[in-house]
Every structure is written in structure tokens, then in C-alpha cells.
Structure 1
Amino acid sequence: MTQTAVADTSDDAAQGVRRRDFIHVAAVSAAGVGAASTLYPLVSQMAPSADVLAESSTEIDISKIQPGQAIKAVFRKQPVFVRNLTPTEIAEAKKVDVGSLRDPQSLDDRTKPGKANWLITMGVCTHLGCVPLGAGEGEVKGEFGGYFCPCHGSSYDTAARIRKGPAPKNLEVPPYEFTSDTVVKIG
């Protein structure tokens, strides 16, 4: 009889270990679910809001912009200039010695291949953040025919490269792509 009693006790011990393992796994799982449900709202509140995501890109219809004309648009609450360069303006920009520029960039560096006539830049002077003139009808374009910043006299050429004045860099070219022949997506 003693051997049978010993065998029954070892079965009870094995069953106890199994119950303990189950309780341990269940407790750890419940703690993991609780931690995830606590952390999710804290992490998700750091994501950008819907209005910020909506401004992360802008689509512009360029079909009505005539050669030699520029328009102003808005991208991330800042002005953007979209300019349809004429063949004369392209030729003038290409004949400038890039090595003589303060911020050396060619027109090809600032435009997309096959679309050299479309120059898209941020409309913010790189000196102190004023909005240069030259994109609107009848605005002063400066002595190089591009843009002129009225705040401190920076002059940009037809490729929006700094040529004269205190601005240290060319007008910034934002990331953009042509989604069709008539629409450009900025951002």
C-alpha cells in the first residue's frame, strides 16, 4: 500500500506543477495585455494630427501657367513658387558659370530631367525668411530676372539662384514629382 500512496502523491505533484505553469502563463499574458493597452494611447498621441498630415503634400495644376509666368502656392504653410521658364530664361540660366555662384547649382540640378522649364522653389528668402517678389504679375524681379527680396535686397536669377545680396543660399527646391503632364505633387 505504501507504494500506491507514493505513486498517487507524485501524480498530484505533477498536476500541481501543470496548474502552476498555467497560472504563471495566464498572469504574464494578462500583464502583457494590460501594458500594451496602457502604452498604446501614450504612443499614438505623439502621431501627427490629421490637419498636419493633410498639409504634408500639395498638388498643383500647372496646365494654365504660361511660359514666363509664375504662380504662388502654399506648402506646409509656406509660399511656393512654380515657374514655367521660357527657352530664353533656360538659356540664360545655363550659360552662367556655376563655379562663380555663391551656392553652386546648375539649372539641371534644380529641375527634373525632361522638365527643365518647370522650376519649383520655396518662396522664402534664405537670408531672414522674407517672401521675395517676382512670382506675381508686375512684381519686381530684380536685376537678374528671377526674384527680388525687398527686405534686404537679395537678387535671384531665373533659376532662383542667389546672385547678389546677403542671402547665403539659393531658394530651396522642395521634394516634388510630376504625377501627370498637368499636375505636380509637392511633398
Structure 2
Amino acid sequence: MSLAGKFAASAVSTTRFTTNVSHAAARAVSGAGIAPSIKGEQSSFRSSSAATSAGVSTTNYTAMPTLLKQQRFMSGFAAGPGTTKIPSFADYTKERSGDSSRAFTYFMLGASGAVLTGAAQSSVHGFLTNMAASADVLAMAKTEIDLSSIPLGKTVTVKWRGKPVFVKHRTQEEIDDANSVNLKSLPDPQDDASRVQTPEWVVLVGICTHLGCVPTTDSGDYGGWYCPCHGSHYDVSGRIRKGPAPLNMEVPEYIIEGEKLTVG
């Protein structure tokens, strides 16, 4: 017999042997009253034991876990869809988001307040700087007069803060006349001593208290000043004696130091 024929005969013999073994195993299992089952491990094990006791050597394929058994086995370790509970951090995220939003709001408010404060400070500083008097304005705020240049009985007019100021060097007769006036007869009662610092010098703002005209010097019924606008008469102390003017002429702030008079 050729080599190919021997190989074919061997294959047929092997197939017959395998078939006979399978049939013998099946008869042994049936004779033992055991029905093979693929639903549980115990049934498969009993079938395999019975076949072994019958003296049949066979491979127990029914003892291998089936797909159903694999799924049941795997279900103990891997949860199916919808059974896993994933923790939620929504509350923490929401709180953190709210805190961040509030922090940003506070930061913006603080920054805006700082900017507005700086702008207001700069504006106020600039306003005060512009409002501050310059050197020439301060110089005009005060006026100095040399009293030695004013003869006895004469009056000079100087300018102070845009207003005329009368400075009169009074005689003793004029001083006595001013002190002899009955205060009750005056429209605006004031004694002479309250309107002068030294008896011989009278310093007045040269504006009529009626409507603001400038009175003329050394004139009128009382030897002092007369307002030509509406006929008001002032004496040598600058007090109103007759006419529509309601008040005495104003006495400005001044200082006499020796022969120097400083107004303002």
C-alpha cells in the first residue's frame, strides 16, 4: 500500500475510534440516569463523573462555562448599565462658582471705588490749586500807606481790593466835634472811639451805603463826606447824619505801626 493510502486509512480509523468513544460515553451517561446539562456546574460535573466511572475516557466539554454562565459570573464583578452610581459634584461646583462670582464682583467694586476716589481727589486738588490766590493777588489784598505823607486835616484815597479807601488825618477840633455828637440823634448810632484805632486817623471804605456811589471828600453839611447821587451826608467819623443812606460807612480791617498804615 502506498504512503497516501496508509495516511487515509489511519485518518478513517481515528475518526471511527473517536465516534465509538463518544457513543460509549453517551450510553454510559444514559445508563446512569444522568442527563447532561449545560445550565449548571454541578450537572456538568456529575455527567463527567459518571462517564469516568463507566470506564470511558472522554473530554468533558459540558463542564466548560457557557456564555450565559460567563455573563452570570461577570455580573458579580462588573455592574450592568444603569447600576453604577457616579458621585455628583454639582453642589460643590455651584458653590465654588458662586464664590468666584462674588469675589469678582467685590474686586470690581473695589477697583471702581479706588479709581473714583483717585479721580475725585485729583479734581478737588486741581480745583483748590486754581482757587488759591496767586502772589500778585495776595499783594493786592493788602495796601500800605505812608502816614507821614498825609498833612493834618487832609484826606487821601487809596485803592484796596478794587475799592476806594479814605484815610483822613483829623485835627483836634474835628476829633472834639465827633465826640460831642448825641448818639441818640444818629440813624446808625456809634461812638467815635469804636470806629478808630487812634483819634487822629480815620480809615473808611469810600462807598455810600445807600446805592454804592463814591462820596466826595471834605464836603456836606457835617464837614465829612457827601454822596452826590442821592444826597447822603456823613460826618468826620464816617457816620451817616442825613439822607437816604441807612448805615455808616464801613471801617476796613487795618493796622497802624508807627508811620505805616496797612489795610487788609
TM category, shorter = 0.7 to 0.9
Q: Residue 126 of structure 2: SS of its match in structure 1?
A: helix
Alignment of 1:184 onto 2:261: yes
How far apart are residue 89 of structure 1 and its match? 0.2
- Equivalent residue number for residue 92 of structure 1: 177
Code of the residue aligned with 2:226 in structure 1: it is F
How far apart are residue 73 of structure 1 and its match? 0.4
The structure with more helix, counted as a fraction of residues = 2
Give matches, 1:16-95, under 5 Å: 36-37=121-122, 39-95=124-180
Task: Pick one of 102, 108, 128 that aligns with 2:211.
Answer: 128
Q: Residue 126 of structure 1: SS of its match in structure 2?
A: coil
Q: Measured at CA, do residues 39 and 80 of structure 1 come closer, stay the same or move farther in structure 2, by a change above 3 Å?
A: closer
How far apart are residue 166 of structure 1 and its match? 0.4
Alignment of 1:162 onto 2:237: no
Code of the residue aligned with 1:131 in structure 2: it is V
- Equivalent residue number for residue 149 of structure 1: 227
Structure showing greater radius of gyration is: 2
CA distance in structure 2 between the aligned counterparts of 1:34 and 1:166, rounded to whole angstroms: 53
- Equivalent residue number for residue 18 of structure 1: none
How far apart are residue 163 of structure 1 and its match? 0.3
CA distance in structure 1 between the aligned counterparts of 2:124 and 2:215, rounded to whole angstroms: 47
Q: Measured at CA, do residues 40 and 161 of structure 1 come closer, stay the same or move farther in structure 2, by a change above 3 Å?
A: same
CA distance in structure 2 between the aligned counterparts of 1:75 and 1:130, rounded to whole angstroms: 16
Q: Measured at CA, do residues 71 and 40 of structure 1 come closer, stay the same or move farther in structure 2, by a change above 3 Å?
A: same
Where does the alignment leave 5 or more consecutive residues of structure 2 unmatched? 1-106
How far apart are residue 51 of structure 1 and its match? 3.8
The structure with more strand, counted as a fraction of residues = 1
Q: Measured at CA, do residues 101 and 38 of structure 1 come closer, stay the same or move farther in structure 2, by a change above 3 Å?
A: closer
Alignment of 1:116 onto 2:199: yes
Code of the residue aligned with 2:147 in structure 1: it is I
Q: Deviations over 1:56-78 (max 9, x none)?
A: 11111111111110000001101
Q: TM-score if structure 1 supplies the norm length?
A: 0.74
Alignment of 1:107 onto 2:184: no
- Equivalent residue number for residue 50 of structure 2: none
Q: Residue 55 of structure 1: SS of its match in structure 2?
A: helix
Relative contact order, higher structure (CA 8 A, sep 6+) = 1
CA distance in structure 2 between the aligned counterparts of 1:38 and 1:172, rounded to whole angstroms: 38
CA RMSD of aligned residues (A): 2.4
Q: Deviations over 1:98-132 (max 9, x none)?
A: 121111111101001xx111000000000001110
Code of the residue aligned with 1:67 in structure 2: it is L
Identity across matched positions, percent: 46
CA distance in structure 2 between the aligned counterparts of 1:39 and 1:152, rounded to whole angstroms: 46
CA distance in structure 1 between the aligned counterparts of 2:130 and 2:251, rounded to whole angstroms: 32
Q: Measured at CA, do residues 45 and 70 of structure 1 come closer, stay the same or move farther in structure 2, by a change above 3 Å?
A: same
Where does the alignment leave 5 or more consecutive residues of structure 1 unmatched? 1-23, 136-140
Q: TM-score if structure 2 supplies the norm length?
A: 0.54
CA distance in structure 2 between the aligned counterparts of 1:147 and 1:68, rounded to whole angstroms: 14
